[in-house]
Structure 1
Amino acid sequence: MIKSLFSVLLILWSLSLLAQEKVNFNEKFKKENQGKVKIEIHETKELLHIMIAITEVGLENDDMIEQSGDYYKDVIQTFQTFKNEKIIAKFDSLMKSNPLYYIFLTGNALSYNFKGKKLIKDKTYLFPAQNVSSHTKITINPITTYKEEIENFAEKSGFRKFYKSHKEYYNKVISDYNKLANLQKQWDWLEKKFNTQVNNYTIMCSPLINGLNYTTSYTDQNFKQIMMVLPPVTENPKLSQIDNVIFNTRGMFTEIDHNYVGNPTMKNREQIESVFKNREEWVDTSKYGTEYYPNPERVFDEYMTYGVFLMYCKDNFDSNVTKKASQEIRDLMTDRGFIKMEIFTENLFNVYDKNQNKKIDDWYPELINSFKK
């Protein structure tokens, strides 16, 4: 029951996580982060992931917690002794009452940093995870509420020593992101192709994250940051180097480009609703998960998200790589219930080839009209 519930929440989070405004992007922060990509395994956030991993909910759910690999074994071996601590039972009860506390706890961990044995308020992320979906909101930061208990757990369990001893592994996770996904390259391409501009990208990673990853954004003082909460990238020894790059790029790219596709989709919503009004022509409604794409706008946006990834492949890899990636995307989308990916891609490439010198936003109407046939 818990596992299936979190599977549903995974879909909901990918669709409806709201941007939060409880941040403070002062001039120093803006100067240091403008145009930069940051990948971090944040110490306080990692503590919260570990604490959740040893709750009953965490131990029972491998959608939420990555339960394979040496790192997870180290976590269990080091911290399971403390699973009966009162604060662990409290976090377990919070998530059982509302599974979204997974985000409220791990997301708001950014609002504190360790200084010795104490947690000190962060000057940038004041209350970074306040809303999840339009109807789920908290008004008090739970890390503030349980600050003393979290500090005590960290000291008693030897967390800071554990974190320090794994710094070499954390650094490898970060370097693998640059080698196998190259966020900067994706960002540069998207900024060139769309009107939307972003000031900073930050990946908050944890080796304990499995399927429950999401993207949100923060805007303050005319500075926009996209933050992605993601697991480490993977390198499959059975795949070639380029296949590993494509696989990892796809997962990240289709998170990022929602931020760029969304604006022109909204601006052309009426036209999309007219052309894509026959939903069952585009979606196999018998497939689980399609109910979370209930209208033409959502359906088109999902097609476009994966279509833009294939455009990126077309511009950055050779034709054989693009052909293989296109087939994999068609299979993936068909399996999910999006049955017209081949037609969508064909029209998309045709319109794109005719408009190489224009922003994607500008030829959206032409693309939408191409489906009237």
Structure 2
Amino acid sequence: MTGAVLTSLVAGRLRRFLPPYPPITVFMLKGLLHRLLVISLVLLPGLARAQGAATPAEPVAVRFPEAYELANIILALTPYGQSDQFEVYKNSRYYREMRAYFAPHAQHPLLQQANYSRKEWDKYLAFRTDAYAYSFDGQGQLVRQFAFNAQGDVRPFDDLLAQVSNFVQVSGFRDFYRRHQPYYDSLAVAYRQSQHLPEALAFLTTELGQAQPAAGQYAVVLSPLVYRMNCHRDVQHVPTDFSMVPEYLLSGDLQKQPSPADVLSGIHALFTETDHGFVNP
């Protein structure tokens, strides 16, 4: 449709709502509409680009990091991880697949060295959380990317790094992680949709001001195996929650609609960690 035709149509429709005017007025109206149409066609694309450029990046990152998952798998394979009913979430196909995949390596020495107990909760928490600072380099070596220790001087992951690296090599961990990448991605999407974290952050910012530190970004670090001990830390100036995935997302059916109580329970667990970045950093 040409600009002239569009102008005529709009002018004709406007005339239905206006009292009769001399022909010159209708002609002037058509001219005005034509000029407005031209201006709109010129300016709107630029405005759209400007609006897009001003739109901030997604402020909440939901992550299932490889080294963090490695640490959680190791803890889940220890005698304590297998026997305790709260540390590791076991009622999922993912857990069963993980146990079957790593069964040939059940006697690896690391699984005894990292066999912490409830009394050693600080070592258990530090082992899995400190792994977040590590990633694999181009040669497949596990290397530290930044300084971070969740429990101060309690640093079991650093202490056992050589044994962890050996476990990676002999167990085929990286292949397991790659095979399950689509599952981690689907959980990240489901988690983001169900937990309303952007809304919670907006509420806390309105009520309490910017988080400490005011980074303009937030991170949530997850594993399908974590079932207890959430924690909140400042990691590289980014407020970060090491949280757990709600049970209704882990039970095996991402299409199942959770009850309102299930949703509120999950949001409450995350909210109590998130607000530490505002009132108790």
Query: Do they superpose with TM above 0.5?
Result: yes
How far is 1:239 from its partner?
4.1
CA separation in 2, counterparts of 1:55 and 1:244? 30
CA contact (8 A) 1:205 1:230 kept: yes
Q: Which residue of 2 aligns with 1:58?
A: 81
Q: C-alpha deviations, 1:170-189, integer Å up to 9, x for none? A: 00110012110121121112
How far is 1:35 from its partner?
7.3
Q: C-alpha deviations, 1:55-94, integer Å up to 9, x for none? A: 11111112111111101101111113212111111111x5
Equivalences for residues 161-180 of structure 1 within 5 A: 161-180=175-194
Task: State yes or no: 1:232 paired with 2:255.
Answer: no
Q: Which residue of 1 aligns with 2:163?
A: 149
CA separation in 1, counterparts of 2:264 and 2:110? 41
Which of residues 65, 85, 92 is equivalent to 1:69?
92
CA contact (8 A) 1:108 1:128 kept: yes
Task: State yes or no: 1:256 paired with 2:265.
Answer: no
CA separation in 1, counterparts of 2:143 and 2:247? 34
How far is 1:152 from its partner?
1.4
Q: Which residue of 1 aligns with 2:172?
A: 158
CA separation in 2, counterparts of 1:96 and 1:112? 25
Task: State yes or no: 1:85 paired with 2:103.
Answer: no
CA contact (8 A) 1:180 1:233 kept: no
Q: Which residue of 2 aligns with 1:43?
A: 66
Task: State yes or no: 1:128 paired with 2:149.
Answer: yes
CA separation in 2, counterparts of 1:206 and 1:110? 11
CA separation in 2, counterparts of 1:189 and 1:61? 36
Matched to 1:233, the amino acid is P
Alignment size in residue pairs: 216
Which of residues 223, 226, 243 is equivalent to 1:209?
226
Q: C-alpha deviations, 1:14-39, integer Å up to 9, x for none? A: xxxxxxxxxxxxxxxxxxx9872111
CA contact (8 A) 1:63 1:212 kept: no
Matched to 1:249, the amino acid is I
Matched to 2:122, the amino acid is L
The unaligned stretches of length 5 or more in structure 2 are 1-55, 250-255
CA separation in 1, counterparts of 2:103 and 2:118? 19
Matched to 1:251, the amino acid is A
Q: What SS does the aligned partner of 2:142 have?
A: strand
How far is 1:119 from its partner?
0.9
Matched to 2:132, the amino acid is L
Equivalences for residues 1-373 of structure 1 within 5 A: 36-92=59-115, 94-95=116-117, 98-115=120-137, 116-122=139-145, 124=146, 126-131=147-152, 137-138=153-154, 141-197=155-211, 198-199=214-215, 200-218=217-235, 224-235=237-248, 237=256, 239-240=258-259, 244-262=262-280
Matched to 1:178, the amino acid is R
CA contact (8 A) 1:46 1:206 kept: yes
How far is 1:120 from its partner?
1.9
CA separation in 2, counterparts of 1:71 and 1:156? 21
Q: C-alpha deviations, 1:266-306, integer Å up to 9, x for none? A: xxxxxxxxxxxxxxxxxxxxxxxxxxxxxxxxxxxxxxxxx
How far is 1:95 from its partner?
4.4
How far is 1:159 from its partner?
0.5
Aligned Cα root-mean-square deviation (Å):
2.5
How far is 1:262 from its partner?
4.2
**Identity of counterpart residues, as a percentage?**
22
CA separation in 2, counterparts of 1:112 and 1:253? 27
Matched to 2:270, the amino acid is M
Q: What SS does the aligned partner of 1:226 have?
A: strand
CA contact (8 A) 1:110 1:128 kept: no
CA separation in 2, counterparts of 1:47 and 1:238? 30
CA contact (8 A) 1:213 1:228 kept: yes
How far is 1:165 from its partner?
0.3
CA contact (8 A) 2:89 2:227 kept: yes
CA contact (8 A) 2:232 2:276 kept: no
Q: Which residue of 2 aligns with 1:11?
A: none
Cα distance change of structure 1 residues 79 and 234 upon mapping to structure 2, 3 Å threshold? same
Cα distance change of structure 1 residues 48 and 102 upon mapping to structure 2, 3 Å threshold? same
CA separation in 1, counterparts of 2:103 and 2:202? 43
CA separation in 2, counterparts of 1:249 and 1:96? 26
